Chains A and B, each alone.
Chain A
Amino acid sequence: MTTGSTEKVNGAKALIKCLEKEGVDTLFGYPGGQIIPFYNELYDSDLRHILVRHEQAAAHAADGYARATGKTGVCVSTSGPGATNLVTGIATAYMDSVPIVALTGQVPRSLIGNDAFQEADITGITQPITKHNYLVQDPQEIPRIVKEAFHIASTGRPGPVLIDLPKDVQNIEIDLQYPDRVELRGYKPTYKGNTQQIKRAAEEIANSCRPIIYAGGGVISSNASAELVELAETIVAPVTTTLMGISCIPTEHPLYVGMLGMHGCKYANYAIQESDLIIAVGARFDDRVTGKLESFAPNARVIHIDVDPAEISKNVKVHIPIVGDAKQVLKSLIKYVQCCKSAEWIEKVNQWKKEYPLAYRKSQDTIMPQFVIEQISEACKDAIIVTEVGQHQMWAAQFFKYSKPRTFLTSGGLGTMGYGFPAAMGAKVGRPDKTVINIAGDGSFQMNSQELATVVQNDIPVVSVVLNNGYLGMVRQWQELFYDRRYSYTFIKGSVDFVKLAEAYGALGLRAEKPSEVRPAIEEAVKSGRPAVVEVIVECEANVYPMVPAGAAINEIIDLEEH
């Protein structure tokens, strides 16, 4: 299964040639003892290598690059501690089904298992958090393994794949022939949905009076946004999205009812609870979405479209399962459907939308965090928004107006603090034409702020807006609501001067302390064309509302007025 001529090269060079054949243009990585042969060959290649300051950032950057571009991201590290530092980033990509390939150095084959210096069993460690992984035992297998790795990472339900490369394997000369096909008898994803099931789904839709489309990250990864919107408009059904599904339909689309779940819009949660038919597309009924499972959408039939059969009926009983790629299935489904009897329902949903809008207390004196997101939204239309994890993440999900897919990148499944900044860096490298804003909290930003060095050295003009409330805000919110305001170790005020921190690295540092200073600071940062940090001193005890307490039904909502 190979084409073209054979050439003799060492393993490291073979690896680079294989990456080039896969269309890789950028790597995020950090060298070390057991990956030196690869770096030695990289020195002569045209591949762009971004030297991060911590391997965790390399994995997140590859992830951000992949989410922003739709291509597979690549990160590199050495063995042992280098490889284990990738773990959080790999787990993040696994939980959110992001295609990345991680290359790790390993001690020479003769030392494997001897507890050699900087040895770690990284294939063992990453087994539960990779779609698949390889320890290359035979250098001649490098081309086949690289081909398979990229195929596995990017097809079916995407995910991370790791290739562990012993140092001696990188040095041995092989006959390089790159295969043009992959033969994996245990891996044949289903893309085309079963026609009978699709027809049954169309019938269910025709009989439904209160349908709702529940869209997840799968819509974005399969590039099915246009089809999703077409389905919604054809059958006239409201659309709610998960956190991962945000940006798959424009925020201002009249049929969009916002995010659902724990911090979802009240009207989205009411709509899903009252619906008689849920059309789930590329979503997995996560506990942050469903709340208490027994009380979730009690009267709804469920159609579930997903490329991963294991997601179907995992959490919620599904009446019509359709295994397949979201784009392909939606395309076929659209052919069979027409407007359903939803007129009254749409009116009711719109009524809820008017009655329970997303809201916050406005203030002239202090800066409300939600106000900052609105200002970013107005100043940076069409920007790629990346977030860290916490309160700011939820406000970014609620108050920014998204218009195109792949413009909201966030760690949904694993909830990784420290994700946003390096992921924003990766997104900007992949989409240099776009403004990339990392919305951060003061806690999260400090988890990977060392990457300021990377963005400055490589001239990657990412803007981080740090909403500084002096707290680990989301935990503080839980402590306030459920732990009697005992703020156990969530107070972090004064930990660092973010403006000076940015300046110390050679980035632009700006601060806003009054509402009137927010917009100018954001605009100046974006206009500067430099890596920048905008520290915004926000109301310190602002909370994310609406909120469904963990374990409650999703229409049991704590709202602004009650607190």
Chain B
Amino acid sequence: MKHTLAVLVENKSGVLSRVASLFSRRGYNIDSLAVGVTEDPDISRITIVVHGDDHVLEQVTKQLNKLIDVIKVSDIGTDDAVERELALIKVSADVDTRAEIMQIANIFRARIVDVAPKSMTVEVTGDESKIQAIEKLLRQFGIKEMVRTGKIAMVRGPKKV
């Protein structure tokens, strides 16, 4: 089962490597990892998607909590949460296909952020399934390059992690 963990850490150099290496040395698999600073400049938030049963999740959480620089670990997968990922997809395009690609982008509320004679770059945000869906549709034109940020997530309503 997939779990989404929100990990608040001290915003210091080396912290991300401590967190990531903990996963590799204990044999846990990271599906996705995204990191950035929070509203408090001293605190960064790492969103980690990890695969495993309840026992694995319990161990991951406890081992993360043991790191001195980890302030808090929350499993937000079970709550009602807003989950987003951003992807940039560079797709083959010419005068014949450009309009169709723009149409698809519109339907997905995606944006065209670059156009060149033989390609277009689409920026799309959404949950995993939406990004997969647009990727599938754009594939017919030929995807030249694609980059995804990894998932970030936040609990809905007044609750904070």
Chain A interface residue count, Cβ-Cβ cutoff 8 angstroms: 18
A135 and B14 in contact (CB under 8 A), knowing A309-B62, A314-B59?
A: yes
How far, in angstroms, from A127 to B25 measured CA to CA in the complex? 11
The stretch of A184-192, A246-254, A446-454 that contacts the partner chain:
A184-192
User: Are A186 and B71 in touch, CB under 8 angstroms?
Assistant: yes
Closest to B68 in A: A132
Q: How far is the CB of A182 from chain B (nearest CB, A)?
A: 11
Nearest-neighbour CB distance to chain A for B23, whole angstroms, equals: 11
CB neighbours of B67 from chain A (8 A):
132, 186
Q: Answer whether residue B18 sits at the interface, using C-beta atoms and an 8 A cutoff.
A: yes
By the criterion CB–CB under 8 Å, are B25 and A128 in contact? yes
Contact of A186 among B14, B58, B69 (CB under 8 A): B69
Chain A CB within 8 A of B10 CB? yes
**Which A-chain residue is minimally distant from B18 (CB atoms)?**
A127
Contact across chains for B59 and A186 when beta carbons are under 8 A apart? no
Q: Which residues of the partner chain B approach A184 to less than 8 Å between Cβ atoms?
A: 68
Q: Does B21 contact A (CB under 8 A)?
A: yes
Residue A123 interfacial (CB < 8 Å): yes
Interface size on B, residues (CB 8 A): 21
The reply to whether the CB of B129 lies closer than 8 angstroms to some CB of chain A is no
Name the interface residues of B53-68: CB closer than 8 Å to any CB of A. 55, 58-59, 62-63, 65-68
Q: Number of residue pairs across A and B with beta carbons under 8 Å? A: 35
Interface digits, A299-314 against B, CB 8 Å rule (1 contact, 0 not)? 0000000001110011
Verify B21–A152 contact, CB threshold 8 A: no
Tell me whether B140 is interfacial, beta carbon within 8 Å: no
For B78, the chain A residues whose CB sits under 8 A away are none
Q: Does A494 contact B (CB under 8 A)?
A: no
Given A128-B25, A185-B71, A308-B66; A313-B14 close (CB under 8 Å)? no
Indicate whether A406 reaches chain B with its CB closer than 8 angstroms.
Answer: no
- A326-354 CB mask vs B (1 if < 8 Å, else 0) is 00000000000000000000000000000
Residues in A with CB closer than 8 Å to B58 are 313
CA distance A152 to B65 in the complex (A): 14
Cα distance A93–B66 in the bound complex, in angstroms: 17
Residue of B14, B65, B67, B68 contacting most chain A CB atoms (<10 Å) = B68
How distant is A180 from chain B, measured CB to nearest CB, in Å?
A: 20
Residues of B within 8 A of A128 (CB): 21, 25
Q: Is A124 an interface residue (CB 8 A)?
A: yes
Instruction: Evaluate contact between B62 and A187: CB separation under 8 angstroms.
Output: no
A313: chain B residues at CB < 8 Å are 55, 58
Report how far A137 CA is from B13 CA in the complex, Å. Answer: 10
Is A131 part of the binding interface, using a Cβ–Cβ cutoff of 8 Å?
A: yes
Q: Which residues of A contact B65 (CB under 8 A)?
A: 309-310
Given A186-B10, A313-B58, A127:B68 Cβ within 8 A: no
B66 close to A310 (CB less than 8 A): yes
Across chains A and B, which 3 residue pairs bring their CB atoms closest together, nearest first?
A310-B62, A132-B68, A186-B71
Spell out A's residues near B (CB within 8 Å). Answer: 123-124, 127-128, 131-132, 135, 137, 152, 184-187, 308-310, 313-314
Q: Which residues of B contact A (CB under 8 A)?
A: 9-10, 13-14, 17-18, 21, 25, 55, 58-59, 62-63, 65-72
Sample (11) of A-B pairs whose CB atoms are under 8 Å apart: A127-B18, A127-B21, A128-B21, A131-B68, A132-B67, A137-B13, A186-B68, A187-B68, A309-B62, A310-B59, A310-B62
With A310-B66, A314-B59 given, can you name 6 additional A-B contacts, CB distance below 8 Å? A132-B68, A186-B68, A186-B72, A309-B62, A310-B59, A310-B65
